[in-house]
Amino acid sequence: MNGGLRALVVALAMSSSAALAQTAPAAPPALPPGVFAAERDLALATAGTYALDEQHTAVIVRVSHLGYSHSIFRFDRAKATLTWDPAAIEKSKLEASVETASITSNVNGFAEELIGDNFLKAKSFPQATFVSTAFKPTDKTKGKVEGQFTLMGKTRPVTFDVSLVGAGKGFGGKPRLGVTAVASINPQEFGLPPFFTDPIQIVIDTEFARTE
């Protein structure tokens, strides 16, 4: 290979390397000190008492709109306490409550109607509650939480299917656990009017932080 051709090959190689370097994805920014991203490992949420993080919680209900579609409502105020041990999940306990008057809807004026005496009767029954009776893990990231759900003074058994979203060291050294939980209830069992014709699905996305 003569000198001119060799120089051309070297120049092309350097140009290709420079182009690749320019198009390579940038490294993700480092997290602030004391902040740790989650992993799909329950063991990273160490044993202890955990409180629900209200700022990272969504309580969503999906309600059949007379069979035409599903209306989506959200409850904005919830509290919960979780007693947790990843080495003995079946011994865990959960107590949770939602303020029934905190419901929101994208239908103008409907939230105010829903909290009234024709539907949720929020003044007489300001909270819906759930108290666990059994934790039943099914694999490393999923399980069922059975318990007693109370709405408008009526209590019925309800089972949530729970999936781990992530666990980790959290913020400032407080371990954190995030899950999605899904259950369905029969509206007539809780005294809701026939307007609600089908089972109501409850979807909860939430995080818990250890309180110690």
The fraction of the chain above a pLDDT of 70, given in percent, is: 87
Give the mean model confidence (pLDDT) for residues 70-83.
96
User: How many domains does the chain fold into?
Assistant: 1
| Assigned domain for 175 exists | yes
| Assigned domain for 118 exists | no
Kindly tell me the burial class for residue 180, based on how many C-beta atoms sit within 10 Å of its own C-beta (0-12, 13-18, 19 or more): middle
| Assigned domain for 113 exists | no
Digit-coded pLDDT (tens) for 123-168: 999 999 999 999 999 999 999 999 999 999 999 999 999 999 999 9
Predicted TM-score of the model (pTM):
0.84
Digit-coded pLDDT (tens) for 6-37: 654 445 555 555 555 555 566 667 888 888 89
Q: Which residue has the tokens 């899950």?
A: 179
Roughly how many angstroms between the first and final C-alpha of the chain, as a whole number? 72
**Domain extent for 171:** 42-70+77-98+126-210
Residue 161 CA: distances (Å) to CA of 55, 109, 178, 179, 211: 22, 32, 14, 10, 25
Q: What is the dihedral angle through the alpha carbons of 85, 205, 173, 36, rounded to the nearest 10 degrees?
A: 120
Q: What is the mean pLDDT of the chain?
A: 89
Contact assessment for residue 131 and residue 148, using Cβ atoms and an 8 Å cutoff: yes
Q: How far apart are the C-alpha atoms of 72 and 63, rounded to whole Å?
A: 6
**65 or 152: which carries more pLDDT confidence?**
152
Q: How far apart are the C-alpha atoms of 105 and 75, rounded to whole Å?
A: 9
| Assigned domain for 117 exists | no
Digit-coded pLDDT (tens) for 103-117: 999 989 999 999 999
| Assigned domain for 169 exists | yes
| Assigned domain for 34 exists | no
The CATH number given to whatever domain includes residue 140 is 2.40.128.110
